[in-house]
Amino acid sequence: MYACATVPVTGRSQLSLISNAEIIPMANQQYREVITKGPLSRNAEQTAMIRRVGVNIQKAVEQYMAEKNLSSQLNGFAWEFNLIEEPTVNAWCMPGGKVAFYTGILPVCKDELGVAVVMGHEVAHAIANHGRERMSQQMVAQVGVQSLGALMGQNPTLGNELFMQAVGAGTSIGMLKFSRQHESEADKMGLIFMAMAGYDPQEAPRFWGRMAALSGGQAPPEFLSTHPSSETRVRDLNSWMPEAMQYYKK
């Protein structure tokens, strides 16, 4: 019998064979490895901006979850926000609230408002437990097991590999790509979170327009590799905007 969980905001049911208590410590260890290798940015102003936006989004998430009586889903979260000095156009959030931005995405963000679009989107992936869900899917698809303990008992090497792929942002192994469903879900949740944090959600379509223009007809940057088309994304964002604006207080 498959275990199910419900995604906050969207209400979608998802496969969940792994608990946060299992996956968050593993993610924390990997995050430390990434941050240790760095190099972290020495730009104090940019680093402060990333952390300021991160804390604001964190508070919005905690408020949202408390209002929905879902605070227990944040058990084990130990938020952290870092800026890595690298030209890669990317950002990510691991299970447990560990966030990394790369300096290469800052010109696309342009300012704090653009950073809030990305921060809300990436944090939404963690709140929606997308990494946990896709690792659960891989466990069933590849080895047919339904618990992390069973997988690690039968094939610990494969278990570690699936974990690294599921939450391995910034590593040489690379990530299992989020599905378009996950990306669209993070878009909607991110709108709500940034609006609650006091950032105008109407910036989101503008940011994604800049991101789409960056590809210039060539292969898209890593941050866009599996995202919905820019036309679909902007249409969806605009359709969700009235709901998001209800949370926005200037």
Calculate Rg over the CA atoms of the chain.
17
Q: Are 135 and 23 in contact (CB under 8 A)?
A: yes
Instruction: At 142, list the tokens.
Output: 């590849």
Q: Is the dihedral of CA 93, 98, 104, 110 positive or negative?
A: positive
Candidate list 62, 67, 86, 122, residue with the active-site label: 122
80: annotated active-site residue? no
Per-residue pLDDT of the chain (250 residues; tens, 9 = 90+): 447 788 888 888 887 778 888 888 888 988 998 899 989 999 999 999 999 999 999 999 999 999 999 999 999 999 999 999 999 888 999 999 999 999 999 999 999 999 999 999 999 999 999 888 887 777 776 665 556 666 666 667 666 667 666 665 555 444 445 677 888 899 999 999 999 999 999 999 999 889 888 876 554 555 555 555 677 888 999 999 999 999 998 7
Q: Read off the pTM.
A: 0.86
CA-based nearest residue to 98, from 61, 45, 58: 58
Q: Please state, in angstroms and rounded to a whole number, the distance separating the CA atoms of residues 165 and 172.
A: 10
Neighbours of 214 (CB within 10 A): 16
Instruction: At 112, list the tokens.
Output: 């704090």
Q: Please state, in angstroms and rounded to a whole number, the distance separating the CA atoms of residues 136 and 206.
A: 34
